Amino acid sequence: MSKPVVLILCTGNSCRSHLAEGFLRSAAGDLLNVQSAGSKPAGYVHPLAIQVMQEVGIDISSHRSKPLTDFLEQNIDTVITVCGNADQACPIFPGQMRRYHWPFEDPAHATGTEVEKLEVFRRVRDEIRRVFEAYGAGCRAVVTP
């Protein structure tokens, strides 16, 4: 039996959705097939997103920025949007049973010094971590007796 697919969407698929994908994969283990995509993909994963995830022991360096159209023919059980633009652009996917909208600030727009940008990335990472680890724990609780 195939694992339920959770698709996490944002606009650029360079930061927020990859942070969320990393945390949900880690929290849910092998229970879910977690993917991410963007409505207007940037074409890269932001280096600071990779760095701040490495700081907490999660490697997203092999992730790639993908368009949501890559998933239009797949059965998607749950769609989670992490920004308003993606929520508005989000189509209905085949098999979709649930949809959640949990918006977060886009750390890619952080300005200032490298240290100031890292502070924003870490803050957003920690916000996303709380939400997606709790969601992953809930998924584990449902299937674990």
Tens digit of each residue's pLDDT (9 = 90 or more) over 67-119: 999 998 888 999 999 987 665 666 667 677 888 999 999 999 999 999 999 99
Question: Residue 122 and residue 114: Cα distance in Å, rounded?
Answer: 12
Q: Is residue 73 part of a domain?
A: yes
Which of 78, 98, 90 has the alpha carbon at shortest distance from 20?
78
Q: Is residue 101 part of a domain?
A: yes
- Reply yes or no on whether the pLDDT at 1 is more than 80: no
Q: Is residue 142 part of a domain?
A: no
**Active-site pick, 60, 90, 120, 128:** 90
**Active-site pick, 83, 86, 108, 128:** 83
What's residue 89's pLDDT? Answer: 65
Question: Residue 88 and residue 66: Cα distance in Å, rounded?
Answer: 18
Which CATH number does the domain housing residue 49 bear?
3.40.50.2300
What radius of gyration, in Å, describes the C-alpha atoms of the chain? 14
> Domain of 72?
5-137
Q: How many structural domains are present in the chain?
A: 1
Question: Residue 79 and residue 34: Cα distance in Å, rounded?
Answer: 10
Residue pLDDT, tens place only, 94-108: 677 888 999 999 999
**Active-site pick, 6, 9, 10, 52:** 10
Tell me if residue 83 is catalytic.
yes
Q: Is residue 143 part of a domain?
A: no
- Enumerate the β-bridge partners of residue 102: none
Task: Please state the pTM of the whole predicted model.
Answer: 0.91
Q: Is residue 144 part of a domain?
A: no
109-142: buried (b, 16+ CB within 10 Å) or exposed (e) per residue? ebeeeeeebbebbbebbeebbebbeebbeebeee
